[in-house]
Amino acid sequence: MSKLDKDDYKHAVKQMSRELVDLARWVADSGARIVVVFEGRDSAGKGGVIAAIRRHLNPRHVRTVALGKPTEREAGQWYFQRYVEHLPTKGEIVLFDRSWYNRAGVEQVMGFADKGEVDAFLHATPTFEKLLTDDGIILIKYWLTTDQAKQEERFAERRDDPLKGWKLSPIDVASRAQYDAYTEAREAMLRATHTQNAPWTLVDFNDQKQGRLTLIRNLIDRIPESKVPRPVIDLPPLEGEPSEESYAVIDPLPDWVPPEAK
Amino acid sequence: MSKLDKDDYKHAVKQMSRELVDLARWVADSGARIVVVFEGRDSAGKGGVIAAIRRHLNPRHVRTVALGKPTEREAGQWYFQRYVEHLPTKGEIVLFDRSWYNRAGVEQVMGFADKGEVDAFLHATPTFEKLLTDDGIILIKYWLTTDQAKQEERFAERRDDPLKGWKLSPIDVASRAQYDAYTEAREAMLRATHTQNAPWTLVDFNDQKQGRLTLIRNLIDRIPESKVPRPVIDLPPLEGEPSEESYAVIDPLPDWVPPEAK
Amino acid sequence: MSKLDKDDYKHAVKQMSRELVDLARWVADSGARIVVVFEGRDSAGKGGVIAAIRRHLNPRHVRTVALGKPTEREAGQWYFQRYVEHLPTKGEIVLFDRSWYNRAGVEQVMGFADKGEVDAFLHATPTFEKLLTDDGIILIKYWLTTDQAKQEERFAERRDDPLKGWKLSPIDVASRAQYDAYTEAREAMLRATHTQNAPWTLVDFNDQKQGRLTLIRNLIDRIPESKVPRPVIDLPPLEGEPSEESYAVIDPLPDWVPPEAK
Amino acid sequence: MSKLDKDDYKHAVKQMSRELVDLARWVADSGARIVVVFEGRDSAGKGGVIAAIRRHLNPRHVRTVALGKPTEREAGQWYFQRYVEHLPTKGEIVLFDRSWYNRAGVEQVMGFADKGEVDAFLHATPTFEKLLTDDGIILIKYWLTTDQAKQEERFAERRDDPLKGWKLSPIDVASRAQYDAYTEAREAMLRATHTQNAPWTLVDFNDQKQGRLTLIRNLIDRIPESKVPRPVIDLPPLEGEPSEESYAVIDPLPDWVPPEAK
């Protein structure tokens, strides 16, 4: 049932956007540092909720970090090193579209990390995160859930829609049959890393619009007391008539017209 | 007259998005390197057209570069140095939201660069750009135009709309009265830097939707022969019934419901 | 007593250099990662012992990290962040000429960090270092000691010798009177951070040559079993007579001759 | 003939070091930017003369850049991009131990770059360098020459001396038979890139000590009027007796003693 209708969604997400704008202004003003980790099933909708969050925010206040495969140099470093590089300075919100938790998820399930490495990761992570939160960083971790039937539906859509084809990677395809292994890996991850100072929050993304609103509402409510008044900007009337564009060197392109209208 | 209706716009921009997806796949596949510079009036709509271009593209193939004020260290370097760092490697499209042309525009008009620096810039730039295009980089430069009355309208909207307030900077406000000085600076810039290998294209953004379509159509048409067949991906049926999520450690958040519905 | 004579020193340091070359080859070959931290009194001789260690090593295997004052951006980050960036990848030795321990030393004594920050640092550091050593990084920490009379002697030499003047910073001058405060700060640091997995080693640098040999000997002995046979390189005889330089465009400079010989 | 005796060399190089210290202080003070390129035969002595120059300089004023093989990402970029990143900011001297000229030397001779790439490089380089010098960067380029017999002697020494073995790379060995091809490549490079604003200087390094003095003297003389008075630093007498080290947590290592002395 739930199924929000489209206008309700638009209305609600716009309302929340205003609160996010306030929140980001508070972050910039107070010098807070916020890290939000987005993990979850392939196709769950990490990219979509991140885009919804960022949509109206000043890009100087919020950064998205989506790291690719480590280089050889990075692969030889301390595991957390390449993520640490992207942690926020005062006044920044950083959204991790996948994160160090790769090791506990895809790397484990697909066999890119061995059991020793995964165990070491699960052991080290709460300590690593405690260092960050002790330093005053606010660390919020979301895991987006989706039933396999829904996932299959979205994979089929990606296969068929030319606008979404690139989202379907060979790893995704190989991962399809590992749904239950991912569930197991997630539960082990939760057992090891759902801590007081850096707890996980699961959000149901079977309905993506619903999932976005649930997640964003939660995110806003996690940062209390984050109001800073909007700066008032004065735009006194211009002197004289407004100017128009005039061109001496080259002219603008002619307006595009629809093919049928030519 | 022109004023596209909303559905026409949506239909056209979606159509063009498909072509952009093809283009980006060709770039990745062929190893082409593309730099697109976006300059123009404050409020003209650089951010909006960049967002429209990127919307459906694989973020691994396209990057936006929007540099802030130079650090003291950067300010002491070769003027182009901090931009060079962001030039594309093979297979990449880089969109510069403002660029090295800052010096000929805002820096000149607002007095952050003196005449000697501006002249040196206008003299060096065609040479700098020739080095890039000689090396095989495709360099496309757009300047987005807007009449002052339209600009005023948009500034007022930014002042009044809580979602857009951060877009109105003190520099914008101080720049309002300098509309004609910007025109003059632009024409001088065009005279010096509208070259065979790196020509400028002006696009009228008094109507932003119209401007976006005109610009994107031009961009696509500038990269000829850019078709690579979409990879065909096979999704064989899964064995057994699709699994559902099940939770042993923590449960997902309850769905958000509209306040009135609680 | 001790005072090594000059030839003894040269002989011994050359002998140890051979062992260091072997050690660095083993690091490169085995993929080991080694971090060596050098802390100690101003003027104790950190730079000198680092230069002696590096002198004959392949610069691709060993890096020195000597960070300046943090930028504003860095000052707002997780305290360890800017150091983490320089940790070694597989096959590297990194020598930290001063390190994260700045906070427990000069920052504390000179009042650049407050008590809360110093306490937080002393509390976090063993945890931070444990993460590194658990990940397999070998972490060795030296603190170079010097009596105040000796320190005064060296400061006077820096003041008087034009080759050394830049080594005497205003902070050094201001630190002179704080010798005992530094002692106290060091002892607190040792109590908090002299751990099983990352112990401190103190080395007496009242006699710098003696100190260097003592430290380097200890460093070599800490990395056991580090022998990899030297690769044998064959240089077969060239065919024909060896060529000589010949110049068609410009000639080399005339040899420099001493002024009196002109 | 020439062969400087050891004491003469030491005396002269120390004298020049004082002038280099003055020069570096002037650079820091005046905000000058200096790039020195070191190219030349394998084994000619680039590393040695760079070490001699840097020996007494404040590392905050002078950097050495010795880039390895480009990563795949770098190899796909504008050829000069990875070098540009290391150009000096105001107040810095940057010493390039090999440089963009790799393409005209080793890459050409050993076949890592094809004729088209080399020609493009020789064509682009004067333009690239003109941009830098027009921007006010002082660009000085040295090429160190050595007869083949001398080169063979040094290769044999590297093969035999355990302290120098790593300096003899497989490329060096493969390059031995290409002495004349390197000569030819150098002459073509000189013809194309020995320009008014960025001329080459050849220095004979058959006698390395002689070569160092000749080069350093030339370098100093190229930067005229570079005197800034040394800051005078006052070290008032300490109050009370100087303190001695005292240890409460751990003691320093016992002094190293020569094996025979134990």
B252 vs A217: CB contact, 8 Å cut-off?
Answer: no
What homologous superfamily does CATH list for C6-225? P-loop containing nucleotide triphosphate hydrolases (3.40.50.300)
D131 vs B80: CB contact, 8 Å cut-off?
Answer: yes
Bridge partners (DSSP) of residue D140 are D36
Residue of chain C whose alpha carbon sits nearest to that of D41: C245
The pLDDT, as a whole number, for residue B262 is: 59
Tokens of C198: 């990352």
User: pLDDT tens, A8-42?
Assistant: 999 999 999 999 999 999 999 999 999 999 999 99
- Chains touching chain C at 3 or more Cβ pairs under 8 angstroms? A, D
Residue of chain D whose alpha carbon sits nearest to that of B84: D81
**Top-level class of domain D6-228:** alpha beta
User: pLDDT tens, D225-241?
Assistant: 777 888 888 898 898 89
State the nearest Cα–Cα gap between C158 and chain D, in angstroms.
Answer: 10
The pLDDT, as a whole number, for residue C1 is: 41
- Helix, strand, coil percentages in chain B from 3-state DSSP, rounded to 5: 50, 10, 40
Q: Which among D2, D17, D149 is the nearest to C242, CB-wise?
A: D149
Tell me how far apart the alpha carbons of residues D243 and C137 are, in angstroms, rounded to a whole number: 37
Chain D CB contacts of C95 under 8 Å are: none
Q: Which among D202, D234, D246 is the nearest to C252, CB-wise?
A: D202
Domain formed by B30-225, architecture: 3-Layer(aba) Sandwich (3.40)
**What value does the mean pLDDT take over residues A173-202?**
94
pTM above 0.90, yes or no: yes
Bridge partners (DSSP) of residue C33 are C92
C131 vs A128: CB contact, 8 Å cut-off?
Answer: yes
Closest CA relative to residue D118, chosen from D126, D109, D127: D109
Tell me how far apart the alpha carbons of residues A201 and B111 are, in angstroms, rounded to a whole number: 50
User: pLDDT tens, D79-91?
Assistant: 999 999 999 999 9
Tokens of D59: 């590392």
Fold topology of A11-224: Rossmann fold (3.40.50)
The pLDDT, as a whole number, for residue A262 is: 58
Q: Which among A163, A183, A247 is the nearest to B18, CB-wise?
A: A163
Tokens of B190: 């065009």
User: pLDDT tens, C126-175?
Assistant: 999 999 999 999 999 999 999 999 999 999 999 999 899 888 888 888 88
User: pLDDT tens, C81-122?
Assistant: 999 999 999 999 999 999 999 999 989 999 999 999 999 999
Check: complex ipTM more than 0.90: yes
Q: Which among B163, B252, B258 is the nearest to A56, CB-wise?
A: B163
CB of D95 closer than 8 Å to CB of D62: yes
Closest CA relative to residue D254, chosen from C151, C208, C189, C215: C215
Tell me how far apart the alpha carbons of residues B56 and B58 are, in angstroms, rounded to a whole number: 7
Residue of chain C whose alpha carbon sits nearest to that of D51: C55
The pLDDT, as a whole number, for residue A1 is: 41
* Lowest mean pLDDT across A24-28, A162-166, B43-47, B243-247: A162-166
D76 vs B90: CB contact, 8 Å cut-off?
Answer: yes
pLDDT grade for A169, boundaries at 50, 70 and 90: confident
The pLDDT, as a whole number, for residue B2 is: 53
| pLDDT tops 50 at residue C195 | yes
B77 vs D89: CB contact, 8 Å cut-off?
Answer: yes
Chain A CB contacts of B210 under 8 Å are: 255-256
DSSP 3-state of D97: strand
pLDDT grade for B169, boundaries at 50, 70 and 90: confident
Chain C CB contacts of A137 under 8 Å are: 78
* Lowest mean pLDDT across A236-240, C210-214, D230-234: D230-234
CB of D203 closer than 8 Å to CB of D215: yes
Chain B CB contacts of D85 under 8 Å are: 81, 84-85
pLDDT grade for A2, boundaries at 50, 70 and 90: low
Tell me how far apart the alpha carbons of residues C217 and B256 are, in angstroms, rounded to a whole number: 66
Interface test with B, best of D33, D61, D78 (most B CBs within 10 A): D78
Tell me how far apart the alpha carbons of residues D2 and C255 are, in angstroms, rounded to a whole number: 8
Q: Which among A233, A242, A258 is the nearest to B152, CB-wise?
A: A242
Calculate the alpha carbon distances from D203 to B78, D10, D14, D210, D218 in Å. 29, 20, 20, 10, 10
pLDDT grade for B1, boundaries at 50, 70 and 90: very low
User: pLDDT tens, B182-232?
Assistant: 999 999 999 999 999 999 999 999 999 999 999 999 999 999 777 788 888
Tell me how far apart the alpha carbons of residues D120 and D104 are, in angstroms, rounded to a whole number: 10
Q: Which among B66, B191, B230 is the nearest to A165, CB-wise?
A: B230
B127 vs D124: CB contact, 8 Å cut-off?
Answer: no
**Per-chain mean pLDDT for chain B:** 93
DSSP 3-state of B36: strand
pLDDT in tens for each of the 262 residues of chain D? 457 888 999 999 999 999 999 999 999 999 999 999 999 999 999 999 999 999 999 988 999 999 999 999 999 999 999 999 999 999 999 999 999 999 999 899 999 999 999 999 999 999 999 999 999 999 999 999 999 999 999 999 999 998 998 888 888 888 888 999 999 999 999 999 999 999 999 999 999 999 999 999 999 999 977 778 888 888 988 988 999 999 999 999 999 988 876 5
The pLDDT, as a whole number, for residue A225 is: 73
User: pLDDT tens, B57-86?
Assistant: 998 899 999 999 999 999 999 999 999 999
